[in-house]
């Protein structure tokens, strides 16, 4: 029994989450590819350019999320560090040290900074699992995930404003033990 | 149709005779005695397990009493643990159903004896309660096996026995199937009392073979029995499979005792734990973070410093702070210049000499002298004395004599550094 390689690739992408393939690999129909030049990530494609944010307009519960606010704040902190050229698109962005992201997040939040860093580390991993960030734990770097490539250009204005307002990562007074 | 039902049909065709009524009454008597312990009154079953305990206590006391029997007072004494009305009710019902009867059937009888049938019935009931008919089925099968081997057994009796067993197996499997299709909790609760062991099935098949060998003409009855046995085996296997299936895949962790789950989680290897989710495909949609929700989350999030409203600003452009406020150095220098000009090197000068000019100029000088006098950093003093000089043609037209003078550096009004 032979299986259409496109069907197989689509099934793999659905089951394994966000998978990357060589940039030369074909993108099966029904999926869209986010490429950074060398690799291509297969992502779901929605009709008519809609995003899951449309669910809200229909009063449909989106994918449930533990502590969505915290996860989005960590995403914002990561983008602050990775998306340095705000006039460009966020994808593919640049690499940034995880320490910087943790510092930005700790600066954004109240309370124990160590605790905030630990929370943020967990959220970074979750964001990396779902394709919102690409986390390289051995190198200690993070870069935007392929999913941010699905953001529509016209929805980015407020996010750009926000990232301009967020504080810069402060390297000197952040000794990381 | 079996011959038994034919006889019933023929008996129903005839008009019932007194003999029939008598036979029926005897059968009913046995039934009543058997289940007297379970009766609440002559028409209903007990609704409180304690009532059965009363009957059991009574029957045990009768067994101890021997052939003498017991009087009513002795019975009451035996049952002293129970309330009087309960005891009266039980005794009345037991007497009514024949489980307890007079030693001699005559009026004003004081001594009573108990019926043997009731005791056996109660034993049977207790056993059924304990293991739900399964061991009873074992006993019946063993008994039937003995009967089949008995040379006095007739084909009729064997057929009745086989039919009874087939009926029991059928009902049994129907109950199991109903449970299997019901909720898993109920199945777990009830099934262990109902589903069969290999032992019961083997015994039943052995009995079936023995009947068929001895009375080959009963093959139709035996086919029924065989089908019932197999149906029961299937139902029992299906119930077990459903239970084990649901224990494997369900999230209902109450299907096994908590300690079992805990032990498994502690002792299982990583592969075993991972195997729990073998065959599961996770295709959950990934969470979506819209840029606007990211912005909202950051803005709604807890802040490092509580937000403080900015002070109001004028709408016109702000030129910033003016240069001459905050320090009065220029004013001091001007006052000092005026004072030195008035003194012209002297230490003191009379005010009326200074003011001998027209009043608009004189009052400016007077104001400056007064300011120099009041300024804490300047070493000048303006003192007035009593008296009033009226100068009708002069300017000003009246004046009090006063002196403007330089104060010494150590004076009370000289403030260190600014003194010359």
Give pLDDT tens digits for B198-236.
Answer: 778 888 888 888 888 888 888 888 888 888 888 888 888
Q: Helices B198-214 and B219-249 sit at what angle, rounded to 10 degrees?
A: 170
Q: How far is A146 from chain B (nearest CA, A)?
A: 12
Distance CA B117, CA A27 (A): 85
| A177 in a structural domain | no
Per CATH, B18-128 and B329-418 having the same topology is answered: yes
Q: How far is B169 from chain A (nearest CA, A)?
A: 48
H/E element, B128: helix B116-131
Q: How far is B253 from chain A (nearest CA, A)?
A: 24
Of B285, B297, B304, the CB nearest to A73: B297
Evaluate the omega torsion of the peptide bond into residue A86 and state whether it is cis, within 30 degrees of 0: no
pLDDT of residue A177: 38
CATH architecture, range B329-418: Orthogonal Bundle (1.10)
Q: How far is A160 from chain B (nearest CA, A)?
A: 9
pLDDT of residue B9: 44
pLDDT of residue B192: 65
Integer angstrom CA distances of residue B22 from A154, B12, B14: 100, 16, 16
Inter-chain touch B304–A109, beta carbons under 8 Å: yes
Distance CA B50, CA B89 (A): 13
H/E element, B389: strand B389-390
- Total of domains in chain A: 2
* pLDDT exceeds cutoff 50 at A176: no
Q: What's the N-to-C CA distance of chain A in angstroms? A: 56
Q: Are residues A150 and A74 part of one domain?
A: yes
pLDDT of residue A165: 85
Q: Taking residues A69-88, what's their average pLDDT? A: 89
Q: Which of A162, A166, A170 to mutate to test the interface with B (most CBs of B within 10 A)?
A: A162
Inter-chain touch B288–A51, beta carbons under 8 Å: yes
Inter-chain touch B295–A162, beta carbons under 8 Å: yes
Q: Are residues A77 and A37 part of one domain?
A: no
How do the domains of chain B map onto residue ranges? 18-128, 132-250, 329-418
Q: Taking residues A105-134, what's their average pLDDT? A: 88
DSSP reduced 3-state for A133: strand
DSSP percent split of chain A into helix, strand, coil, nearest 5: 45, 15, 40
Q: Are residues A126 and A77 part of one domain?
A: yes
Q: Are residues A104 and A20 part of one domain?
A: no
Q: Are residues A100 and A43 part of one domain?
A: no
SS (H, E, C) B138-206: HHHHHHHHHHHHCCCCCHHHHHHHHHHHHHHHHHHHHHHHHHHHCCHHHHHHHHHHHCCCHHHHHHHHH
Inter-chain touch B287–A68, beta carbons under 8 Å: yes
Inter-chain touch B287–A14, beta carbons under 8 Å: no
Q: Are residues A157 and A78 part of one domain?
A: yes
Interface of B with A (CB under 8 A): 281-304
| A56 in a structural domain | no
Q: Are residues A72 and A44 part of one domain?
A: no
Q: Are residues A73 and A28 part of one domain?
A: no
Q: Are residues A158 and A96 part of one domain?
A: yes
| A26 in a structural domain | yes
Q: Which residues of chain B have pLDDT under 70?
A: 1-16, 24, 26-28, 30-49, 129-134, 191-197, 247-256, 304-308, 313-328, 410-420
Give pLDDT tens digits for B15-63.
Answer: 667 777 777 676 667 666 666 666 666 556 666 667 777 777 888 888 8
Q: How far is A131 from chain B (nearest CA, A)?
A: 8
| A40 in a structural domain | yes
CATH architecture, range B18-128: Orthogonal Bundle (1.10)
List residues bridging with A141 in a β-sheet.
A97, A136
Of B281, B284, B289, the CB nearest to A75: B289
CB pairs below 8 Å between A and B: how many? Answer: 87
Of B282, B294, B303, the CB nearest to A159: B294
Q: Are residues A111 and A143 part of one domain?
A: yes
The answer to ipTM > 0.95 is: no
- Segments forming the whole domain that contains residue A112: 68-165
């Amino acid at each position: 029994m032979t299986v259409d390689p496109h069907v197989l690739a689509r099934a793999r992408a659905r089951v394994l989450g966000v998978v990357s393939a060589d940039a030369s690999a074909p993108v099966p129909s029904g999926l869209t590819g986010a490429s950074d030049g060398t690799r291509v990530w297969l992502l779901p494609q929605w009709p008519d350019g809609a995003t899951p944010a449309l669910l809200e307009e229909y009063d449909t519960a989106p994918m449930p999320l533990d502590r969505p606010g915290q996860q989005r704040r960590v995403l914002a902190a990561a983008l602050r560090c990775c998306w340095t050229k705000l006039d460009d698109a966020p994808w593919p962005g640049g690499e940034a040290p995880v320490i910087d992201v943790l510092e930005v997040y700790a600066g954004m939040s109240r309370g124990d900074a160590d605790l905030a860093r630990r929370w943020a580390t967990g959220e970074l991993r979750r964001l990396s699992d779902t394709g919102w960030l690409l986390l390289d734990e051995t190198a200690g770097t993070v870069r935007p995930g392929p999913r941010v490539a699905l953001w529509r250009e016209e929805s980015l204005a407020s996010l750009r404003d926000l990232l301009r307002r967020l504080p810069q990562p402060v390297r000197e007074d952040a000794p990381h033990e | 149709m079996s011959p038994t039902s034919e006889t019933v049909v023929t008996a129903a065709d005839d008009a019932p005779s007194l003999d029939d009524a008598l036979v029926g009454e005897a059968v009913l008597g046995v039934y009543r005695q058997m289940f007297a312990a379970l009766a609440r009154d002559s028409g209903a079953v007990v609704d409180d397990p304690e009532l059965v305990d009363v009957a059991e206590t009574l029957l045990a006391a009768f067994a101890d009493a021997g052939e003498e029997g017991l009087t009513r007072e002795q019975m009451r004494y035996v049952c002293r643990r129970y309330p009087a009305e309960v005891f009266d009710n039980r005794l009345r019902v037991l007497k009514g159903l024949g489980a307890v009867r007079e030693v001699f059937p005559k009026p004003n009888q004081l001594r009573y004896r108990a019926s043997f049938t009731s005791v056996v019935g109660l034993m049977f009931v207790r056993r059924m309660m304990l293991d739900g008919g399964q061991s009873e089925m074992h006993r019946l099968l063993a008994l039937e096996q003995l009967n089949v081997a008995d040379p006095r057994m007739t084909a009729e009796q064997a057929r009745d026995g086989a039919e009874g067993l087939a009926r029991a197996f059928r009902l049994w499997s129907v109950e199991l199937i109903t449970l299997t299709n019901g909720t898993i909790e109920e199945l777990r609760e009830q099934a262990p009392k109902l589903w069969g062991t290999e032992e019961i099935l083997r015994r039943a098949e052995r009995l079936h073979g023995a009947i068929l060998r001895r009375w080959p003409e009963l093959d139709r009855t035996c086919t029924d029995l065989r089908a019932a046995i197999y149906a029961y085996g299937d139902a029992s296997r299906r119930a077990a499979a459903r239970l084990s299936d649901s224990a494997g895949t369900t999230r209902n962790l109450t299907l096994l005792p908590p300690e079992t789950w805990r032990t498994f989680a502690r002792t299982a290897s990583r592969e075993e734990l991972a195997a729990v989710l073998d065959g599961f495909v996770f295709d959950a949609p990934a969470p979506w973070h819209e840029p606007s929700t990211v912005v909202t989350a950051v803005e709604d999030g807890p802040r490092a410093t509580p937000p403080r409203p900015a002070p109001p600003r004028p709408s016109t452009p702000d030129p910033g702070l003016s240069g001459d406020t905050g320090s009065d150095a220029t004013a001091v220098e001007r006052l000092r210049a005026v004072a030195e000009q008035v003194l012209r090197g002297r230490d003191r000068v009379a005010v009326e000499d200074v003011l001998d000019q027209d009043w608009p100029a004189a009052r400016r000088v007077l104001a400056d002298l007064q300011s120099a006098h009041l300024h804490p950093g300047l070493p000048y003093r303006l003192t007035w004395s009593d008296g009033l000089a009226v100068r009708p043609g002069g300017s000003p037209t009246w004046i009090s004599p006063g002196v403007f003078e330089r104060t010494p550096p150590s004076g009370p009004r000289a403030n260190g550094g600014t003194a010359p």
